Amino acid sequence: MKSLNILLIEDDAIEVMKLKRVCNSFGHKHKIIEANNGEDALQLLEQKDNLPDIILLDLNMPKINGVEFLKILKGDNRLQYIPTIILTTSNNQKDLLECYKAGIAGYVLKPLKYEHYIEKIEKLLAYWSMIELIKA
């Protein structure tokens, strides 16, 4: 399995710990880059030679929120090709429609139970390590 460069945009420290723990516990070689908000993430994405393979994005964040971040991302010639998956608690139809309009690769509902979270993230990472990605 190919190892992925993952940009996780998430302001909740425990959510970050969760993803890291899942990635570590199964001996994957996925690399996680953290950003606590959309602004930080955009700064990280300035480094053009080190772009992530996929972005995992939390919708509710301070400063630039998820949807705003998406719009900036998809408006950028280079960054628009990075598959972005939404991690969210709310299945608010209105928000999700807006995300799909902006252009997302999918969304994952954060489950309550950690064991269900492991299952979902496992499958998600397995899927994206198989997918051939294009880069601008």
Partner 1 sequence: MKDRQVKILERAIVREKAARKAAEQILEEKSRELYFKSQELEELNKRLELLVREKTTQLKGVFENIVDAYVVMNLMGDVLKMNEAAENLLGYTIEDSINLMQMVHPQEQEKVVAGFATLLEDGAVTDFQVKIVIADKSERLVHINASLIYDESNSPIAAQGIVRDITELKNLENQKERLLLKLEKSNEELQEYAHIVSHDLKSPLRSIDALVSWIKEDNKGKLDAASEQNLSLIQTTLEKMELLISDVLNYSSVAADNNIAEQVDLNSLVSDLIPILFVPEHIEIKVMHKLPTVLGDKTKLQQVFQNLISNGIKFNDKEKGFVEIDVLDLESHYRFSIKDNGIGIEPKFQDKVFKIFNTLNKREDSTGIGLSIVKKIVSLHEGDIWIDSTPGIGATFFFTLKK
Binding site residues, partner 1, CB under 8 A: 12, 14-15, 17-18, 21, 60, 88-90, 92, 110-115, 117
**How distant, in Å, are the alpha carbons of 15, 65, 88, 118 from that of 111?**
12, 21, 9, 10
- Nearer CB in complex with partner 1: 41/59: 59
CB of 92: closest distance to partner 1 in angstroms? 5
Q: Find the shortest distance in angstroms from Cβ 65 to partner 1.
A: 12
Nearer to partner 1, 55 or 59 (CB): 59
Q: How far is the CB of 24 from partner 1 (least distance, A)?
A: 12
Question: What strands lie across the sheet with 84-88, from one edge to the other?
Answer: 31-35, 5-9, 54-58, 84-88, 106-109
Residue pair 49/23 in contact by the 8 Å Cβ criterion: no
Handedness of CA 80, 83, 89, 93 (dihedral sign): positive
- Measured from the CB atom, the residue of 45 and 70 that comes closer to partner 1 is 70
Q: CB count, 10 Å around CB of 46?
A: 8
- Residue 85 CB, nearest distance to partner 1 (Å)? 17
Residues 6+ apart with CB under 8 A from 71: 102
Kindly tell me which of 14 and 134 has the beta carbon lying closer to partner 1. Answer: 14
